[in-house]
Amino acid sequence: MNSMHTSQTKTYSVAIIGSGGSGVVTTGQIMLKAIANAGFYGLMSRSSGPQIRGGESAAMLRIGKDPVTCLDDRFDILMAFDWLNSDRFNDEIPLGPNSTIIRDPDAGDIPQELLDSGAAVIDAPLTALSKEIKQGRVNMAGLGFISDLMGIPKEAIQGAVEDTLRRKGPEVTQAAQSCIEAGYHATKTDSTIEKLPAIDNPNPRWNISGNEASGLGAVRGGVRFVAAYPITPASEILEWLAPNLEKVGGSLLQAEDELASVNMIIGGSFGGVPSLTATSGPGLSLMMEGLGLAVTSETPIVVSNVMRGGPSTGIPTKSEQSDLNIALYGFHGDAPHLVLGALDIQDCCFTTQWAVQLTEELQTVAIVLSDQSQGQARAVIDPPPEATAAGVRITAPADSEDYLRYSVTDSGVSPMAIPGTPGGIYTADGLEHNPKGTPSSMAGDHQVQLDKRLRKIVDYNYQDDWAVTRGEGENVIVTWGSSSGASFEAAERLTANGHPTKAVALRLLAPLQIDRLLAQLNGAKRIVVVEQNHSAQFFQYLHANQVLPGEARSLARPGPLPIRPSDIVTFMMEDF
Amino acid sequence: MTCQPPVTPLKAKDYKSQIKPVWCPGCGHFSILSAVTKALAHLALSKEQTALISGIGCSSRLPAYTDVYGFHGVHGRALAVASGLKAARPDLTVLVAGGDGDGFSIGGNHFMHACRRNMDMTYIVMDNEVYGMTKGQASPTTAPDWTQSKLTPHGTGVPSFNPAAIALATGASFVARGFSGDPKTLTQLLVEAIQHKGFSFVQVLSPCTTFRPEQKNWKHEVHDFSGEPTQNSAQAAHNIHVDGGMGVGIIYQAEHPVWEPTPSATHTVDDLNMGFSL
- Residue that is last in its domain, among A312, A347, A381: A381
- What distance in Å separates residue A255's CA from the closest CA in chain B? 8
Q: State whether B88 and A273 contact (CB < 8 Å).
A: yes
| A349/A351 Cα distance (integer angstroms) | 6
Domain-embedded: residue B6: no
DSSP letter at B203? E
Residue A189 CB partners (closer than 8 Å, separation 6+): none
Mean per-residue pLDDT, B241-252: 96
Q: State whether B74 and A293 contact (CB < 8 Å).
A: yes
Q: For A402-415, what is each residue's pLDDT tens digit?
A: 999 999 999 999 99
Domain-embedded: residue A3: no
Asked if the C-beta of A399 comes within 8 angstroms of chain B's C-beta atoms, the answer is: no
In angstroms, what CA-CA distances link B140 with A106, A243, A473, B116, B129? 64, 40, 65, 20, 7
Asked if the C-beta of B274 comes within 8 angstroms of chain A's C-beta atoms, the answer is: no
Tell me the HSE value of B139 on the side-chain side, using a 13 A CA sphere.
Answer: 31
Mean per-residue pLDDT, B189-204: 98
Asked if the C-beta of B262 comes within 8 angstroms of chain A's C-beta atoms, the answer is: yes
% pLDDT > 70, chain A: 98
Mean per-residue pLDDT, B213-239: 97
Asked if the C-beta of A348 comes within 8 angstroms of chain B's C-beta atoms, the answer is: no
Looking at the fold, whether A364 and A398 belong to one and the same domain comes out as: no
Q: State whether B84 and A205 contact (CB < 8 Å).
A: no
Cβ–Cβ under 8 Å, residues A555 and A563:
yes
Domain-embedded: residue A190: no
Per-residue pLDDT band for B1 (boundaries 50, 70, 90) equals very low
| A348/A342 Cα distance (integer angstroms) | 5
Q: For A478-513, what is each residue's pLDDT tens digit?
A: 999 999 999 999 999 999 999 999 999 999 999 999
Identify the residue with better confidence: A85 or B275. Answer: B275
Kindly tell me the burial class for residue A157, based on how many C-beta atoms sit within 10 Å of its own C-beta (0-12, 13-18, 19 or more): buried
Mean per-residue pLDDT, A357-365: 98
Mean per-residue pLDDT, B5-14: 83
ipTM, two decimals, is: 0.97
Judging contacts by C-beta atoms under 8 Å, the chain A residues touching residue B49 are 419-420
* pLDDT at position B264: 84
* pLDDT at position A115: 93
Per-residue pLDDT band for A88 (boundaries 50, 70, 90) equals confident
Q: Tell me phi and psi for residue A476, to 5 degrees.
A: -130, 130
% pLDDT > 90, chain B: 95
Q: Tell me phi and psi for residue A340, to 5 degrees.
A: -125, 155
> Which residue from B70, B80, B262 is facing A428, i.e. has the nearest CB?
B70
* pLDDT at position A187: 77
Tell which B residues from 172 to 231 touch A, by Cβ distance under 8 Å: none
DSSP letter at B117? H
Per-residue pLDDT band for B5 (boundaries 50, 70, 90) equals low
Looking at A192-196, A427-431, B154-158, B264-268, which range is the least confident one? A192-196
| A324/A537 Cα distance (integer angstroms) | 7
Q: Which of A200, A89, A207, A191 is nearest to A147 (CA)?
A: A191
Q: State whether A427 and B262 contact (CB < 8 Å).
A: no
Asked if the C-beta of A118 comes within 8 angstroms of chain B's C-beta atoms, the answer is: no
CB-based burial, A324-355: b 16+ in 10 Å, e otherwise: bebbbebbeeebbbbbbbbbbbbbbbbbbbbb
Pairing of strands B50-54, B69-72: parallel
| A563/A139 Cα distance (integer angstroms) | 29
- The one-letter code for the residue type at A78 is L
- What distance in Å separates residue B64's CA from the closest CA in chain A? 6
* pLDDT at position A5: 44
Q: For A44-68, what is each residue's pLDDT tens digit?
A: 999 887 776 778 899 999 999 999 9
Judging contacts by C-beta atoms under 8 Å, the chain B residues touching residue A212 are 276
Q: State whether A297 and B112 contact (CB < 8 Å).
A: no
> Which residue from B67, B91, B267 is facing A248, i.e. has the nearest CB?
B267
The number of distinct structural domains making up chain B is 1
Q: Which of A286, A58, A27 is nearest to A147 (CA)?
A: A27
Element at A458 (helix H, strand E): helix A443-458
Domain-embedded: residue B3: no
Per-residue pLDDT band for A197 (boundaries 50, 70, 90) equals very high
Q: For A271-299, what is each residue's pLDDT tens digit?
A: 999 999 999 999 999 999 999 999 999 99
Q: What chain A residue is nearest to B87 in terms of C-alpha separation?
A: A268
**Which CATH number characterizes residue A482's domain?**
3.40.50.920
Residue A6 has pLDDT above 70, yes or no: no
* pLDDT at position A55: 80
Q: What chain A residue is nearest to B82 in terms of C-alpha separation?
A: A267
Q: State whether B64 and A427 contact (CB < 8 Å).
A: yes
Looking at the fold, whether A412 and A323 belong to one and the same domain comes out as: no
Identify the residue with better confidence: A478 or A86. Answer: A478
Element at B197 (helix H, strand E): none
Q: Is A258 helix (H, G, I), strand (E, B) or coil?
A: helix
DSSP letter at B66? B
Bridge partners, A46 (sequence order): A59
Asked if the C-beta of A101 comes within 8 angstroms of chain B's C-beta atoms, the answer is: no
Tell which A residues from 135 to 194 touch B, by Cβ distance under 8 Å: none
Looking at the fold, whether A373 and A514 belong to one and the same domain comes out as: no
Structural domain for A477, as ranges: 466-573
Domain-embedded: residue A197: no
Tell me the HSE value of A435 on the side-chain side, using a 13 A CA sphere.
Answer: 14
Q: Which of A501, A490, A544 is nearest to A524 (CA)?
A: A501
Element at A344 (helix H, strand E): none
Pairing of strands A378-381, A206-209: antiparallel
Tell which B residues from 49 to 88 touch A, by Cβ distance under 8 Å: 49, 51, 53, 63-64, 67-74, 76-77, 80-88
Mean pLDDT of chain A: 95
Residue A327 has pLDDT above 90, yes or no: yes
Mean per-residue pLDDT, A181-187: 90
Residue A192 has pLDDT above 80, yes or no: no
Cβ–Cβ under 8 Å, residues A520 and A381:
no
Q: What chain B residue is nearest to A227 in terms of C-alpha separation?
A: B84
The number of distinct structural domains making up chain A is 4
* pLDDT at position A7: 47
Domain-embedded: residue A339: yes
Domain-embedded: residue A368: yes
- The one-letter code for the residue type at A509 is L
| A116/A41 Cα distance (integer angstroms) | 31
> Which residue from A252, A270, A292 is facing B85, i.e. has the nearest CB?
A270
Size of interface A-B (CB pairs under 8 A): 189
* pLDDT at position B6: 57
Domain-embedded: residue A63: yes
Domain-embedded: residue B1: no
Q: State whether B83 and A220 contact (CB < 8 Å).
A: no
Asked if the C-beta of A268 comes within 8 angstroms of chain B's C-beta atoms, the answer is: yes
In angstroms, what CA-CA distances link A292 with A113, A314, B73? 51, 25, 10
CB-based burial, B173-210: b 16+ in 10 Å, e otherwise: bbbbbbbbbbbebbbbbbbbbbebebbbbbbbbbbbbb
Asked if the C-beta of A227 comes within 8 angstroms of chain B's C-beta atoms, the answer is: yes
| DSSP letters for A473-496 | SSEEEEEEGGGHHHHHHHHHHHHH
Bridge partners, A45 (sequence order): A60
In angstroms, what CA-CA distances link B74 with A363, B120, B156? 18, 22, 25
Q: Which of A284, A172, A297 is nearest to A228 (CA)?
A: A284
| A319/A532 Cα distance (integer angstroms) | 9
Q: Is A417 helix (H, G, I), strand (E, B) or coil?
A: coil
Cβ–Cβ under 8 Å, residues A14 and A61:
yes
Q: What chain B residue is nearest to A299 in terms of C-alpha separation?
A: B71
Mean per-residue pLDDT, A234-257: 97
Domain-embedded: residue A201: no
Per-residue pLDDT band for B178 (boundaries 50, 70, 90) equals very high
- The one-letter code for the residue type at B70 is G
Per-residue pLDDT band for B7 (boundaries 50, 70, 90) equals low
Domain-embedded: residue A547: yes
% pLDDT > 70, chain B: 97
Q: How many other CB atoms sit within 10 Å of the CB of residue B168?
A: 23
Cβ–Cβ under 8 Å, residues A447 and B72:
no
% pLDDT > 90, chain A: 92
Tell which A residues from 293 to 332 touch B, by Cβ distance under 8 Å: 293, 297
- Residue that is last in its domain, among A460, A481, A510: A460
Looking at the fold, whether A418 and A484 belong to one and the same domain comes out as: no
Looking at the fold, whether A547 and A481 belong to one and the same domain comes out as: yes
* pLDDT at position B4: 59
| DSSP letters for A82-109 | --TTGGGGTTTS---TT-EEEE-GGG-P
Q: State whether B81 and A248 contact (CB < 8 Å).
A: no
Looking at the fold, whether A323 and A422 belong to one and the same domain comes out as: no
Kindly tell me the burial class for residue A383, based on how many C-beta atoms sit within 10 Å of its own C-beta (0-12, 13-18, 19 or more): middle
Q: Tell me phi and psi for residue B79, to 5 degrees.
A: -65, -35
Looking at the fold, whether A300 and A356 belong to one and the same domain comes out as: yes
Judging contacts by C-beta atoms under 8 Å, the chain A residues touching residue B269 are 219-220, 248
In angstroms, what CA-CA distances link A323 with A23, A46, B89? 32, 21, 33
Structural domain for B41, as ranges: 15-143+153-274
**Which CATH number characterizes residue B56's domain?**
3.40.50.970
Q: What chain A residue is nearest to B268 in terms of C-alpha separation?
A: A248
> Which residue from A216, A289, A423 is facing B74, i.e. has the nearest CB?
A289
Asked if the C-beta of A430 comes within 8 angstroms of chain B's C-beta atoms, the answer is: yes
| A48/A269 Cα distance (integer angstroms) | 37
In angstroms, what CA-CA distances link B278 with A29, A140, A568? 14, 22, 34
Domain-embedded: residue B101: yes
Q: State whether B110 and A204 contact (CB < 8 Å).
A: no
Residue B274 CB partners (closer than 8 Å, separation 6+): none
Asked if the C-beta of A218 comes within 8 angstroms of chain B's C-beta atoms, the answer is: no
Cβ–Cβ under 8 Å, residues B52 and B69:
yes
Looking at the fold, whether A455 and A470 belong to one and the same domain comes out as: no
Domain-embedded: residue B229: yes
**Which CATH number characterizes residue A19's domain?**
3.40.920.10
Looking at the fold, whether A214 and A337 belong to one and the same domain comes out as: yes
Looking at the fold, whether A360 and A425 belong to one and the same domain comes out as: no
Mean per-residue pLDDT, A234-239: 98
Looking at the fold, whether A246 and A373 belong to one and the same domain comes out as: yes
Residue A246 CB partners (closer than 8 Å, separation 6+): A252, B261, B262, B263, B264
Domain-embedded: residue B9: no
* pLDDT at position A189: 61
Asked if the C-beta of B147 comes within 8 angstroms of chain A's C-beta atoms, the answer is: no
Residue A357 CB partners (closer than 8 Å, separation 6+): A221, A222, A387, A389, A390, A391
